[in-house]
Structure 1
Amino acid sequence: MTTDNPYDLTGRVAVVTGAARGIGRACALRLARAGADVVIVDRDLEAAKEFGESLGAESVPAEIEAMGRRSAGYQADLTDQAAVDATVDAIARDFGRIDILVNMAGGMITPADRSKPSVVPIEDIDRVFAVNLNTVVFMSQAVARVMKTTGGGSIVSATGQSAITTYKQGLLANYGASKIAVLYFMRALAAELGPDGIRANCVSPGVTLTSRIASTAGDRGVGTQDEIDAIPLRRFAQPDDIAKAVEFLASDMAGYISGQCLSVCGGAVLTPN
C-alpha cells in the first residue's frame, strides 16, 4: 500500500475510539481525508449532542462517507473486554483488515476537586484506570491479533500532558497516573510487536478546546488565562492540532518511529519525557 505520498492512507482501514466527538472525531476526519476508510467506535455514537458539537452530517460515519470513504459506527463499552473482542471481530469481518488503531477513548471523568494524590478515593482511581488504561489494553490486544495476520500496522494512543508533567497543585493525580500507565504499556507493546511490523506510539495532548472542555472548563478550573500565558505559543490546542500528529504517526512518514511519545502542547512541556 506504499505510494509516492507518504501521508497517503488509501486502501488502509483505521479504527478510532472515542470518535463520536472531540479529538477522536478530529482524528477520524483527518485520516479519512488522507484516504483511509475509518471505523468509529464509541460508547455513545451520538455523544456530540451532549456538549453541542456541530457535525457536518447526521453522524461522524456520514461525514466520512461524504468524503468518498467507507465508514461505520460501532457502539461498545470498551471497558468490557468481551465487548471489545466482539467489536473488533465484527470490524475485521466487515472491513477485511485493520491497519491503524487510534485509542482516543478516555478522559478525566471523576471530580477534579478530589483528585489530589493525598485524598483521591480509590474508587476514582479504579474508574479512571478502567476508562483510560483498560480500554487501550483491550483494544490494542484485540487489534494486534488482526494486524499480525495482515502484515502489521500502527497503533497510536493518547496519553496527556499529565503523563509527562505534574498538573498544578497535584491535581488530576489519578488521571496522570493512568496516562503514565498507557505510555509504559505502549512502549512495551512497541518492543514486543516490532518484529511483527506493528508500531506503537503515543501522542500527549496539552489542554485542547474540545466541545466538552469548552463547556466544563470554568467549573473544573481548566483553561484559564494563566495557563494560556504559560504556553509559549499562547493558545490552547484545537482538536485538529492533535489529529495532525496522529496522522503523522499513523503514516509511512513515521515508518521508523515506535515506542515514542509526541507531546502536542504548544511548548508547555519543554523537558524530555
Structure 2
Amino acid sequence: MGASHGKLDQTEGDRLLVLEDEPFIALDVEGVFYRAGVADLHIATTCRQAEAWFRDTAPDVAIIDPRLNDGIDQELRGRPARPSSPPHPGDYRPNRHLIEQANVVPWGTRKPTTQECIMDQKMNSKVLYTAKTHVTGGREHGVARSSDGRLDVRLGVPGTARIGTNPEQLFAAGWSACFESAIGLIVQKKHLTLGGDVTIDAEVDLNLSDADGFSLTARLNVTIPGVERDIAQSLIDEAHQICPYSKATRGNIGVTTKLA
C-alpha cells in the first residue's frame, strides 16, 4: 500500500470499512486513511464484527482480508456498496475515485507493509507525551517518583508488612485508564450515547513457572452502560486494537477482555 498525498476528495458521508485480523496491518491501513483525511473509518477484526456493522450501514470503500480467524468472508465481499445500490454478488464495487486517491488497489493486493516498516513509521511518529520516573529500591522496598512530582509512591511486595503499591497494580491502573480512553474515542467517533461512565476492573497476575520463569497474565472486565451487548462488545474489541497498552502486550502475555 502506498501513502496518499494530501486529503481525499471525499463527499459527505463517505465511509471506509477495514476488515483485517492482523493488528499491525490494520493499524497501518487505518493510519494511511486517517492521514489521507478519511474521518468515517471502521476497523473490524472478525467476520462477526463486520456483519454487526453491516446491519446498520455499508461502506463506500471496503478493504477486506479474505481469510480471517473466524472464517472466509465470501459473503461480506458480495455486499453492495450502499443498501440502495443494486447487488453485485461476489463482486464488491467500491467508490473507485475515493480509493484510487489513497493509492490503494481494492482487490487482490498484497499485504500493505511488513511489521518492520510499520515499526519504522511508529519510530518516526510525533511524540505526544513522555513520562519520566525515577525508581530506587526495586519492588521490595522501593520508591517511585515522577519528574513533575505528581507521582510519589512507595513500593512493596504483596503480602508483606510494608505499605506500598507494586508494579502489577500500577500496570493494571494505567492499562485500565488507557483502555477506557480508547473506548471513549470510539464512542465519540460513532456518535453513541452511553448510559453512564465506563468502568474497568483489571486483574494482573505475576506468575512463576519452571519453564518460563516470571510472566504476566491479565484480565480486563469492562462495564459499558446504556448500549446493547453486541455494541458494547464491539467497542471493547475495537478499543483492544487501538489502546497503546493492548498493542504493547499483544502476543507477549495472555490477555482476556470481557464484557461484564
Same fold (TM over 0.5): no
Higher helix share: 1
Bigger Rg, which one:
2
**As a proportion of its length, which structure holds more strand?**
2
- Please give the TM-score of this superposition, normalised by the length of structure 2: 0.30
